[in-house]
Structure 1
Amino acid sequence: MISLAQLHSQLGSDLRPAAGGAVAVRQISGVHISELDDPTPYLEGGELLLTTGIPVSGGEAKVQAYVRRLVERNIAALGLGLGAGVDEVPPALSAACASAGLELLVVPDGTPFMNVSRAYWDLVGREGQADLTASLGTQTALARAATQADALPSVVKALAQALGGWVAYLPADSGAETLWPADNHTIVEQLRRETSRLDMAVTHSASTFQIHGTDVVEYPVLVGRRTVGFLAIGAGRKLTRADRQIIMTVCVLLSLKAAQQLESDATAAALGSAVTKLFLTGHVDAGRALAPDLGIVAPTGAVRLLVVRGEIDPATVSGELESRLRAGTGWAGWTEAGGALRSCRLRHVAGGLSYYVLDAEYPDAGTPGIPGSDGGSAGSTAQPEQYDGGAGNAAVTAVLSRPMPLERVHEEAGQLAATVRALAAGQIVDAPEGALDPRAQGWVAALRGYQRADLVGTVRAYLRHRGQWEGAARELGIHRNSLRHRMGIAAELLQADPDDPDVAANLWLALRWA
């Protein structure tokens, strides 16, 4: 903003203090001319008010009331033009201004008020040009920083140096923050609390609050309508219009970088899903051949298959889910720093389930090597953990297989899918040892081999209705005696009693898998 001292320096004797001496270094928001007794309804505060003296051509009480109104409106200064209304400064006006602390200036006879206004706007133009030049230089530096390999730290550092304060970028997925100065970690938790309290991820609006007595302004970084992060600035001073323009430029740069990363992640996920689907459908050789061409490293040793029920975003809940897997399945290979789900390329989503093919020897943080190296047991039968999926996510249910060759993933996938569907919401467990009776696949093959009736559908309906003849027959659209006849044939083929609970459970899971 322009100060009275700058305006006086620009105009010289055309704008001088009424009492002599130096002009106060006081900021003014504009120059306004009025001859009204009460011009305050048309003023915002901070202006230099110019008058020819008509409002003060009265008694002392009128002059004092006039000055009091100007002070209450926070007028920066009063300029009295001589020659039109008055030829000299009225003593009552000098006294009232001195008593109220209002700066009183004089515009000498023959100097048009237009000269004062023109001088003010000339100064505004110069200041704006200087700000623009500095802003363009800063924005050029920021754009250059955004093209570097370590774009995020470079942009944050450049912005902090431009504003002369600190800057922090907090990913919306609770990932690692980026700070400058880099050791300014004491503010991170408070920033996260304020971000959550203000619900900025939902409101998509900038907010201002205080940390350690310093004003902090925080902006959401958006890709479309999705909040991907938050940019917080503690400048330690009032931000100028040019500062805010620079900050918005940084938000746009971060948004563009995030959009590029999301697009890259989506492409990588699609490629990984294609390879994973080959493994899940038994085309292991094809998957191994395709993986290197897509930049994917196929497992060479034993793997574990994780099947998750419920919508999850690996980028936002993987850390919490890994923690629950470590507690709920006893697989010590899951570590806080591991990030196995976040970095997993072999992930496929189908039928409301997410399948992860994971290296069974994923190293823990203590001793690289096999799971259980920190004292845990990969074969433990830990109690199921309840997992709420993180804030805003539906309950996530998961089952984790035993270590197995990649070639067995196809055989185990259906069984694990049936198991996770049967679990209560929020349970996370190890796949039980020997989950199916070894005869189960033979039972399904025998039922499929019978050509005169659909025994697979018949047995499935019978088991679904828990041996209730009427309900099963109604579902199949046949008479219950026909159902009894078919179930008799099925029992002969199975060489087992479908009403036996163990047989029924294993046969049901095998049919669900089939």
Structure 2
Amino acid sequence: MPITIRRLCRNENFGLRVLAGHDQLDRPLTWAHVSELADPTPFVDGGELLLITGVSLPTTAAETNKFVRTLVAAGIAGIGFGIGLHFDEVPSRLATAARRFDIPLIEVPLRTSFIAITKAVSQAQSADDMKQLRDNYQSLRRLLQAALAVNGTRTVVRRVAELIGGWAALLDSAGHRVELSHSDAVAGVERTTPERAARPMEVSFLTSENEDVISHPLLTPRGKLMGYLVAGCPGAVGSLNQGMVTAAASLLTLMTGRTRDAQLTMNHLRTVAMHQLFEGQNTLARNISGELWGGFPVEPFQVFHVTGTPGLLDSVAESLLDGLGHDLAFGVTDGAMTVVVSATDSERILGRVKEVDVTVGVSDALWWEDLSRARRQAARAAAEAGSRDRRSMRFAELSESGLSAFLDQDRSTAFAAAQLRPLLDAKGGNDLYLTLAMWLAHNGVGDATAAALSIHRHTLRSRLARIESLLRVDLQSPTERAELWLGYRLLGDAPTAPTQRTT
């Protein structure tokens, strides 16, 4: 830590005594300067401890006040007065002036030489500089180690926030947030937006709300803007370690530039594989899934439709590859990312995707023969989420707010209960009701329904035949299937006959 007058006074070997300016003893010292000039200010830079013996000290109180005022204006951190040579004690007029202008005045005994004080300040500064050098070296090592992590970009952003004792954010070239170390970063990023808009290719620095904030552009050697590293540090003005932010910005520039070609190639391969998947050619996608995604999703699955800027979609891709498991596939097509995930792991993966500032639509849980339908469901849900200014929406929510929202709930629920009551009144009614619901949910696909119910397909066919007999319906009729599905959506998993209202 920087040497201060307080630290000097704690050295018992010096025998220093504070006579004035007790509340200013923690100001860092830049040097200890000996001068007996009547006006030493042309030879100081500010922050020095001025050591004098009073040879040129003014003889009147007014002139002494002027002398001390001049020292304060020049930025002197304190006055050390050596006694025992020209004065046996510190003149009262000097002590009075020091108290008036609130500058530390230190009595230096004859046994303590000025050179000893100067050496102490110099040695303390050297030790402080060496410590800062070691700390910076260790910090740079930690930054480099962060860059080697699986998700190096995210780790570097969080590491630089830790090292500066504040927050950090990585933005794309359009200024959209890609990575945030803390939620506090959002407000800081917004405060720097006007400065970035005015000078997008320059480093900007501002202080507001007791916080230093720096916005550093990431530029290629040819001057192409790839993004920004924005960092802030609350506390005293000037406390932000700008050098560390600059080093992190340089590191992120190298990481982004060197990996961009590889990322573009992998993204292209993932897009091709996803096109093959949508066309029903699963073999190619499965064969290279290990290299592209680390694995492949299993049925039943859900589809995410993710929209956002290219930089945000890149961040989503990094998240999907960063230890989230291997039962997924994704690729960017038509400016949006399509993600296919195993239904058993979809909630966890959705939570990670939503950490990025993107919009997500989620399909129902379906099977491979319904992949195109799942993709359409997810895209429709994402469009609806965008129109409602929501971060995410499930297709099931659209169904719930669809035609059924315009029906008289009491009358339609009573009709549905009466229509499906024969199932529950029959022996094994609950199993029959659940079988009908699962068969409708799987669009009448027998194998998928049997697997979901964990029953044999022959058992399923027997149950469906009994359902047709009890309800007197034809399950191959689209109209009757639609009515039954709407009835199930109105009643839920445990239908009961509604209480009749009296008029």
How far, CA to CA, are the matches of 1:318 and 1:145 in structure 2? 22
Q: TM-score under structure 1 normalisation?
A: 0.50
Q: Structure 1 residues 369, 11: closer, same or farther in 2, change over 3 A?
A: same
* Counterpart for residue 211 of structure 2: 214
How far, CA to CA, are the matches of 1:375 and 1:249 in structure 2? 41
How far, CA to CA, are the matches of 1:253 and 1:47 in structure 2? 37
Aligned-pair CA distance for 1:121 = 1.2
- Secondary structure in 2 aligned to 1:203? coil
Query: Does residue 80 of structure 1 match 2:81?
Result: yes
* Counterpart for residue 91 of structure 1: 92
Aligned-pair CA distance for 1:119 = 0.5
Aligned-pair CA distance for 1:3 = 1.2
Q: Structure 1 residues 9, 262: closer, same or farther in 2, change over 3 A?
A: same
Q: Structure 1 residues 269, 191: closer, same or farther in 2, change over 3 A?
A: same
* Counterpart for residue 53 of structure 1: 54
Aligned-pair CA distance for 1:175 = 5.0
Aligned letter for 2:25? A
Query: Does residue 140 of structure 1 match 2:141?
Result: yes
Aligned letter for 2:204? A
Aligned letter for 1:369? S
Instruction: Give CA-to-partner distance per residue, 1:401-426, whole Å, 9 cap, x none.
Output: xxxxxxxxxxxxxxxxxxxxxxxxxx
Query: Does residue 28 of structure 1 match 2:29?
Result: yes
Aligned letter for 2:224? R
- Secondary structure in 2 aligned to 1:235? strand
How far, CA to CA, are the matches of 2:103 and 2:174 in structure 1? 54
1:357-376 equivalences under 5 Å are 366=363, 369=372
1:201/1:220 contact within 8 Å kept: no
2:232/2:240 contact within 8 Å kept: no
* Counterpart for residue 167 of structure 2: 166
Instruction: Give CA-to-partner distance per residue, 1:392-450, whole Å, 9 cap, x none.
Output: xxxxxxxxxxxxxxxxxxxxxxxxxxxxxxxxxxxxxxxxxxxxxxxxxxxxxxxxxxx
How far, CA to CA, are the matches of 2:379 and 2:193 in structure 1? 39
1:384-403 equivalences under 5 Å are none
2:77/2:104 contact within 8 Å kept: yes
* Counterpart for residue 197 of structure 2: 199
Aligned-pair CA distance for 1:144 = 1.0
Q: Structure 1 residues 138, 34: closer, same or farther in 2, change over 3 A?
A: same
Aligned letter for 2:203? S
Aligned positions, number: 310
- Higher mean C-alpha displacement, 36-45 vs 19-28: 19-28
Instruction: Give CA-to-partner distance per residue, 1:324-380, whole Å, 9 cap, x none.
Output: xxxxxxxxxxxxx99524579xxxxxxxxxxxxxxxxxx97557625865898xxxx
How far, CA to CA, are the matches of 1:168 and 1:203 in structure 2? 17
Query: Does residue 67 of structure 1 match 2:57?
Result: no
* Counterpart for residue 179 of structure 1: 180
How far, CA to CA, are the matches of 2:68 and 2:241 in structure 1? 36
* Counterpart for residue 250 of structure 2: 252
Q: Structure 1 residues 223, 233: closer, same or farther in 2, change over 3 A?
A: same
- Secondary structure in 1 aligned to 2:235? coil
* Counterpart for residue 107 of structure 2: 106
1:71-470 equivalences under 5 Å are 71-181=72-182, 184=183, 187-188=185-186, 191-192=189-190, 194-199=192-197, 202-210=200-208, 213-224=210-221, 225-238=223-236, 243-265=241-263, 315=310, 339-342=332-335, 366=363, 369=372
How far, CA to CA, are the matches of 1:31 and 1:16 in structure 2? 16
Aligned-pair CA distance for 1:143 = 1.2
Instruction: Give CA-to-partner distance per residue, 1:236-257, whole Å, 9 cap, x none.
Output: 1348789333322212221111
- Secondary structure in 2 aligned to 1:115? helix
- Secondary structure in 2 aligned to 1:48? strand
- Secondary structure in 2 aligned to 1:369? helix
Q: Structure 1 residues 342, 34: closer, same or farther in 2, change over 3 A?
A: farther
Aligned-pair CA distance for 1:150 = 0.9
2:20/2:98 contact within 8 Å kept: no
Instruction: Give CA-to-partner distance per residue, 1:444-491, whole Å, 9 cap, x none.
Output: xxxxxxxxxxxxxxxxxxxxxxxxxxxxxxxxxxxxxxxxxxxxxxxx
Q: Structure 1 residues 252, 318: closer, same or farther in 2, change over 3 A?
A: closer
Q: Structure 1 residues 19, 199: closer, same or farther in 2, change over 3 A?
A: closer
User: Aligned-pair RMSD on alpha carbons?
Assistant: 4.4
Where does the alignment leave 5 or more consecutive residues of structure 1 unmatched? 276-287, 298-313, 320-336, 345-362, 377-514
How far, CA to CA, are the matches of 2:86 and 2:104 in structure 1? 20
1:168/1:180 contact within 8 Å kept: yes
Aligned letter for 1:261? T
How far, CA to CA, are the matches of 1:258 and 1:201 in structure 2? 22
1:34/1:51 contact within 8 Å kept: yes
How far, CA to CA, are the matches of 2:106 and 2:261 in structure 1? 62
- Secondary structure in 1 aligned to 2:250? helix
1:172/1:201 contact within 8 Å kept: no
* Counterpart for residue 406 of structure 1: none
1:217/1:232 contact within 8 Å kept: yes
2:218/2:226 contact within 8 Å kept: yes
Q: Structure 1 residues 366, 266: closer, same or farther in 2, change over 3 A?
A: closer
Q: Structure 1 residues 78, 101: closer, same or farther in 2, change over 3 A?
A: same
How far, CA to CA, are the matches of 1:102 and 1:171 in structure 2? 49
Aligned-pair CA distance for 1:92 = 1.4
Aligned-pair CA distance for 1:52 = 2.2
Aligned letter for 2:333? A
2:203/2:214 contact within 8 Å kept: no
How far, CA to CA, are the matches of 2:214 and 2:149 in structure 1? 26
2:20/2:99 contact within 8 Å kept: no
Aligned-pair CA distance for 1:191 = 1.6
1:77/1:102 contact within 8 Å kept: yes
Q: TM-score under structure 2 normalisation?
A: 0.51
Aligned-pair CA distance for 1:44 = 3.3
How far, CA to CA, are the matches of 2:187 and 2:88 in structure 1? 65
1:55/1:66 contact within 8 Å kept: no
Q: Structure 1 residues 106, 176: closer, same or farther in 2, change over 3 A?
A: closer
Where does the alignment leave 5 or more consecutive residues of structure 2 unmatched? 273-283, 294-308, 315-329, 338-359, 365-370, 381-503
How far, CA to CA, are the matches of 1:12 and 1:26 in structure 2? 21
2:160/2:245 contact within 8 Å kept: yes
- Secondary structure in 1 aligned to 2:72? helix
Q: Structure 1 residues 201, 340: closer, same or farther in 2, change over 3 A?
A: farther
* Counterpart for residue 2 of structure 1: 3
How far, CA to CA, are the matches of 1:14 and 1:28 in structure 2? 19
Aligned residues: percent identity? 25
1:11/1:119 contact within 8 Å kept: no
Instruction: Give CA-to-partner distance per residue, 1:211-257, whole Å, 9 cap, x none.
Output: x5533222222222222222222221348789333322212221111
